A and B are shown apart, each in its own frame.
Chain A
Amino acid sequence: MRIHQYERVWLLASMVLIVGFIATITYGAVGLGITMVDDRGATIAPDEINEDERFGDPRVEQVGDDEYEVYAVAMTFAFQPDPIEIPADSEVTFYVTSRDVIHSFYVVGTNTNTMVIPGEISVVTVEFDEPGEYGLICTEYCGAAHHEMEGQLAVLEDEEFDLTELEVEAPDEVEPDGEIEITATVTNGQLEAIEETVTVELGDETLEESVTVEGDESESVTLTVDAADLGEGDHDWTASAGDLTESGTVSVVEGSEDDTEGGDDA
């Protein structure tokens, strides 16, 4: 075959280019440890999501000293949880699946970017060094309101970050001769123990108690007041732990049904 000398030179140069490109990518993968989204996540059918231990309750979980896992669900046209809060200087693994069509999970302006396909779980591990606020968007067309699908990713200072939750159980109505029991439960989602001062107020009564909650445990504090001391009518209560606060109202009424209903989660 007749090939001009210059063309041979260019053929060689082209091969050098191609091999150079492949070498760069390989260096990124092997030398720098950049890894692709792949098949390491299990499969999950969209109709299994609600019963799933991880995705049934989309959340952030601490799994190691500075290691966190985020179980996130994408759906038309939102992400769960939203916002996602994680501490700075941590290694975060996102597990993302879809409830319906194909979405994506893209932390805007970063390389944290993956497709989200129903039936599959995308797994991506990244390190967030600095605190900051990021936009989280879906970049795969997913329907008429695709452009409204956005969430927030907040990387918080270590001291601002916690996975502490406050849950309060209090009755709505109590007979005048009954007792009012307000139970505040502090749950520590992190691995290290935390110290919290729990305060429960009802009328003039105040209970303040310091509790130590072990990692992945919860502690409860209960304030008990005689309804007779408060008298008939509506009485406001508040419960707080750290910067979390819950409040509600209990009514002391004749002939009421004593149904207890928990307060909202923190």
Chain B
Amino acid sequence: MPNGATFADAYPTQARHIRAAFWASFLSLGVGAFFGLIQALHRTDILRVIESQTYYTVLTAHGVFLVISFTIFFLVGVFQWAVTDSLERPPVDMRFTWGWYGLMSLGASLTAFAILAGFTDSIDVRANVLFTFYAPLQAHPLFYVGLVVFVVGTWLAGADWFRSWLAWKGDNPGERIPLPTFMVLTTMIMWYISSIGVAVAILAFILPWSLELTGSLNPTLTRTLFWYFGHPVVYFWLLPAYLLWYILLPKLAGGRLFSDPLARVVFILFVLLSTPVGIHHQYLDPGISEGFKFIAMTNTMFLLLPSLLTAFTIIASMEHGARQRGGEGYFNWLTALPWRDPAFTGMALAGMVFAFGGFTGIVNAGMNINYLVHNTLWVPGHIHTQVGTAAALTFMAGAYWLVPQLTGNRLVGRGLALVQVVLWFVGIVFMTNSMYRGGLVGIPRRTAEPQYEGFEYEVAAGSVGELNAQLAIGGTILFVSAMLFLALMVLTAFNGGTEPIDDGSIPPALSGPEDSPAVLDNLKLWVAIAAVLVVIAYSFPLASIVSRGGLFGPDIGPIPVAIDAASTVARTALEAVSAVVR
């Protein structure tokens, strides 16, 4: 990219495409945040504007809009930027690029329609199944169809980036993959491996069942397939934040990335370990042996490693910036960081929250300690510190730097932007403090009314009223912060005739790719190892679940699995035919 030119100057078509992805993302953020506000006030019984049964429609929308639509639309934009910028070339065929964006938008719209139709009785469509859609709860088929179309869109996006990389490789034989592209490709490999699980769950079992083509299904099986996908998906949200921390944050701090080799190692570890861990979401499930749970736990604990390594590299990169800016001492250098820059401060705060959320994740990962927190408010506390802050706040902070590059416009309201990221931090501290503590005394998650008749929660320090107040205050601050962010984005988009204060260039790492062995870039090797690990971690549990409950449900007799499946399909076909005849 020519020096001093913004991304929008160098790649106007691509910038338009990325902006489209960001707008889809921001729209979802606005709607999802509004639903979040309703929930925070409803479950604490401070203000109830909806019926309690409608809460679950709101909750489904909050989950799907934020963790599927907001995060993934944003990350495909970031990834498109990272690939184009670091390979210094546009996609091979822009029509294909618009194509996958169109598919994602179509899928998201279908699913959104299925969910939002739940607010009115005039349309007979419902999808109050939450973001996890555990069968036998059943949504309208459109909900599942939309999800599938959306995921296929992301698969094609990945294919697009691999295609760009292959074209680049042809022109640059023997060169190391630029780090941003390396991160995108490895993340997509992880995504391909893991999203197979949800694809099978929906296409083979849940969708045919919701269309009444099959009469029953095995809830443990679909749940396990969901979590096969459900844990790696959190890394799908998180790794774009990592990308911004590795690529952008050092620059924003005034320094350079400390180590390119370790960044590569970290992403490879995520490829290897993200998927064979999903059973840690099922520690309290019957029908899965303790041995499988223990294996999932050890894998999960080792998954801490890439995050712990990241903590070091990122802090060291920031310290490098601080030292270059004249920072001194063991801790005083922190004051030399550019805390007035909203992009920097937002990411740094997000990282800080993530470090604490990492601890709560360790608790979630610890097999038997899961009895303490399982399905309590502790878990959404964890989610909101991780995807809700580590990812979301990093995305917002990143947008303060990226959107000017993508529009060629100067960010409007730099001071307000700083207020916005600090507000988010304050809001999340209030809200998750309440959630973590509430979880420890047994307040459940995912409920419209955690107030029961038969008992009181025993809060050792503080009271339920105080916890509720914190949750509601925190939720309200987060909502205000989200709205402020969106307002600044809209104003920036219309801030024509200006130019960004930053030139968009990314400084090279202190220790570059030449300091690492080339085998790190051998993607085929890592795919193969990852596949082996997945097979080891999942083949026995899946076989056991199928042999216990049958492929299509627990009411199927003790016939060998292979024959079982065939006979069920045959029986279903017969039933379908007889239904038509009747």
Contact = CB atoms under 8 A, between A and B. Distances in A.
Contact of B286 (A14, A35, A120): A120
Contacts of B12: none
Nearest to B456: A135
B284 interface: yes
Interface in B353-390: 362, 365-369, 371-372, 374-376
Contacts of A110: 442
B220 A135 contact: no
A121 interface: yes
Interface residues of B, number: 76
A35 B52 CA distance: 36
Contacts of A117: 219-220, 223, 285-287
A48 to B, nearest CB: 8
B193 to A, nearest CB: 23
Most chain A Cβ neighbours within 10 Å, of B137, B218, B371: B371
A119 B368 contact: no
B375 A147 contact: no
Contact of A7 (B262, B450, B458): B262
Contact of B136 (A7, A101, A122, A133): A101
Nearest to A45: B555
B548 A43 contact: yes
Per CB-CB distance, the 9 closest pairs between chain A and chain B, nearest first, are A119-B554, A135-B455, A139-B375, A111-B371, A144-B53, A2-B515, A45-B555, A120-B286, A147-B449
A147 B448 contact: yes
Contacts of A207: none
A3 B262 contact: yes
Given A3-B261, A10-B309, A150-B454, A121 B371 contact: no
9 contacts: A25-B366, A36-B368, A48-B555, A100-B136, A117-B287, A119-B548, A137-B452, A142-B137, A150-B454
Given A17-B308, A147-B448, A115 B285 contact: yes
Contacts of A114: 284, 286
B293 A7 contact: no
B553 A119 contact: yes
Interface string B204-241: 00000000000000111001000000000000000000
B304 interface: yes
B572 interface: no
Interface of A: 1-4, 6-7, 10-11, 14-15, 17-18, 21-22, 24-25, 28-29, 34-39, 41, 43-48, 100-102, 104, 106, 108-123, 133-137, 139-148, 150-152
Interface of B: 52-53, 55-56, 59, 128, 130, 134, 136-137, 218-220, 223, 258-259, 261-262, 282-290, 293-294, 297-298, 301-302, 304-305, 308-309, 312-313, 316, 362, 365-369, 371-372, 374-376, 441-442, 444-450, 452-455, 457-458, 511, 515-517, 544, 548-549, 553-555
Contacts of B298: 22
A152 B366 CA distance: 29
Contact of B549 (A100, A120, A144): A120
A47 B215 CA distance: 14
Contacts of B444: 106, 137, 139
A41 B286 contact: yes
Interface centre among B285, B286, B446, B517 (most CB of A within 10 A): B286
Contacts of A17: 304, 308
A115 B286 contact: yes
B457 A29 contact: no
Given A2-B516, A109-B441, A118-B136, 4 more contacts: A1-B515, A7-B259, A38-B290, A45-B555
Contacts of B448: 146-147
Contact residues of A: prevailing secondary structure: mixed
A110 B453 CA distance: 18
A18 B301 contact: yes
Nearest to A144: B53
Contact of A34 (B316, B368, B458): B368
Contacts of A36: 283-284, 290, 293, 367-368
B223 A146 contact: no
B297 A135 contact: no
B549 A43 contact: yes
A14 B308 contact: yes
B366 A14 contact: no
A18 B136 CA distance: 37
B441 A15 contact: no
A137 B219 CA distance: 21
Contacts of B365: 21
A145 B220 contact: no
Nearest to B373: A113
Instruction: Identify the interface centre among B136, B287, B515: most chain A CB within 10 Å of its CB.
Output: B287
B446 A141 contact: yes
B368 A29 contact: yes
B369 A25 contact: yes
Given A22-B297, A139-B446, A140-B375, A11 B309 contact: yes
Nearest to B313: A7
A146 B52 CA distance: 10
B580 to A, nearest CB: 25
B367 to A, nearest CB: 5
B286 A144 contact: no
A116 B549 CA distance: 14
B301 A22 contact: yes
B293 A18 contact: no
Contacts of A6: 312, 316
Nearest to A114: B284
A37 B284 contact: yes
